[in-house]
Structure 1
Amino acid sequence: MSPFPTSAFLASLPFVALGLAALILATWFAGRRLRRFAIIDVVWGLGFVVAAAIAFFASAGHGDDGRRLLLLALTTLWGLRLAGYLAWRQRGSAEDPRYVDLLERAPEGKGELHMLTKVYTFQLVVMFLVAMVQVVGMFATGPLTWVAWVGVAVWAVGMFFETVGDAELAAFKADPANRGRIMDRGVWVWTRHPNYFGDTAVWWGLFLVTASSWPGILTILSPLLMTWALAFRTGRPLTEQRMAGRPGWAEYAARTSSFLPRPPRRDAR
């Protein structure tokens, strides 16, 4: 096994950063024009596709080709699906209340600039840090091992929960008879947040693909950061704050796992 190509890896980082910065800046201009800054949510998944693609070409002749292709394929499938779903969900809707609140709290006349310097730039930094799973993995020289294939299995479980959960929720909301009701069918019986759990599993799967060769284990910050955000910070907690007052929520929460899938409790007193 060849040593990790540190020089080539470090040389690729400015290109990854510039690629992500260009994407975020273009998204900000689009948000200004469309008067919808929530478009950044659509671009979140695309950013990792961009980072993976840049690292894929930069690592040619350096990293293991099998891992390079695998990471590019897994990241692209996940990123494009997520971006497509969020773009479809945002169609014809008003600005997300979260971003309306951010604009209103900004200094007078500086709302758009505030979105760029505080919100979009923060997303850029987080995206760059989390994307190290893909970038380091592209340059890793060791062959794919059983750890990598375990990662593919974990990624597949995550994609299943995320994709099926989003599809089931969309179908549920499309039925007028379900207005005001709590979604408690399909994979939503096993976890209150199949989309957030699925996203978390996807990142642990990508991490295992990279961690199967040194120094991939050092990128563990990426799945840890995603797990913290989705399970404890911006994902599950904020969603449950919005849902807490709805009829039937307390009963649903009592019998259904808050994050990790498990059979529902029979006794939900």
Structure 2
Amino acid sequence: MLEMLTINLAVDVAMMVVLCLIAARIGDVSFIDAVWGFGMVVLAAVSWLQLGDPGARATLILVMTGVWGLRLALHLFTRWRAHGEDPRYARMLAKAREQGRYGSAAFKVVFGPQALLLFITSLPAQIGILAAGEPAAIGPLAWGGFALWLTGVVFETVGDAQLNAFRADPASKGKVLDTGLWRYTRHPNYFGDACAWWGIWLVAAQAGLWVALASLIGPLFLTFTLTRWSGKPLLEKGLARSRPGYSEYVARTSGFIPWPPRKG
């Protein structure tokens, strides 16, 4: 197991080095957001390929990770191609760009940390696949995890589609999206991500307590990131400044878990 995870980590770092070289050449690291989902698919696939006889549960985890990751990667890559460089990354690397050290700074600030965080977050998929190397049955816990994962994928897919339609409507400029899933949670896409990875973790946990404990850091860290660190807090800070009426939306709408809006 340790040897296989070491191979995964080497693949992860090599992938980030190559992508950093591409970013240095084009002068933009913003596509790293799309790499987040795609990279997890790569690590799940490398784990699965290291098994001599992947069982049904290992294959299920690979498919779940693949569907989630490729959908997210395509969504974020398309958004990057449509809107160009993300202002967050532009500000983060502005000084390095002026000093002619964009590539080294990009790896230190963006691609290096992403390699580590991506590896940690996707541990449920990696360990879950590697621990189910022998033909392993899909038990009740795994099916429960699949149901939770499916809920999450549907939630974030519908939420992203509603947000895209809202942004494409010129009449929505400067307004707050508070219809559809966005009426019940301010972040249906983040809620969906969390459900998807807690679902994958439950499927992995079918292998035993040690797998559940060894991979628990993955969904815990992802949920913390989405709700307390670089997800919801940063996004809402910007929206509060740029969207009139956003504070009223926050006051009546759940911040994460879907819930009927509070009455004013």
* Separation in structure 1 between the aligned mates of residue 108 and residue 165 of structure 2, nearest angstrom: 37
TM-score, normalised by the number of residues in structure 2: 0.93
**Which consecutive segments of 4 or more residues in structure 1 shift more than 4 A?**
none
Look up the match of 2:252.
Answer: 255
2:31 — aligned with what?
Answer: 39
The secondary structure found in structure 2 opposite 1:244 is helix
Matches within 5 A, 1:1-269: 9-61=1-53, 65-106=55-96, 108-141=99-132, 143-214=137-208, 215-218=210-213, 219-245=215-241, 246-265=243-262, 267-268=263-264
User: How far apart are the structure 1 equivalents of 2:71 and 2:258?
Assistant: 22
| C-alpha displacement of 1:179 | 0.6
Unaligned runs of 5+ in 2: none
**Distance across 1 between alignment mates of 2:25 and 2:101:** 16
Does the 8 Å CA contact 1:143/1:213 hold for their aligned counterparts? Answer: no
Local SS of the residue matching 2:11: helix
Q: Tell me if the contact between 2:24 and 2:102 (Cα under 8 Å) persists in the aligned partners.
A: no
Which sections of structure 1, spanning at least 5 residues, go unmatched? Answer: 1-8
CA distance in 2, matches of 1:93, 1:251: 28
Quote the offset at 1:229 in angstroms: 0.2
The percentage of counterpart residues that share the same residue type is 40
SS in 1 for 2:85: coil
Give the match's secondary structure for 1:37. Answer: coil
Question: Structure 1 residues 91, 260: closer, same or farther in 2, change over 3 A?
Answer: same
How big is each residue's C-alpha offset from its partner over 1:144-174, in whole Å with a ceiling of 9 and x where there is no partner? 2211111111101111111111110000110
Structure 1 residue 34, shift from structure 2 partner: 2.2
* TM-superposed deviation, 1:105: 4.4
Taking the aligned partners of 1:132 and 1:262, their CA distance within structure 2 comes to 30
SS of residue matched to 2:225? helix
Report how far residue 112 of structure 1 moved: 2.3
**What is the SS of the residue equivalent to 1:181?**
coil
The CA distance in 1 between the partners of 2:231 and 2:23, in whole Å, is 22
How many pairs were matched up?
257
User: Does the 8 Å contact 2:156/2:188 carry over to 1?
Assistant: yes
Q: Distance in 2 between matches of 1:158 and 1:102?
A: 31
TM-score (norm. length: structure 1): 0.91
Q: 8 Å contact 2:23–2:103 — kept in the other structure?
A: no
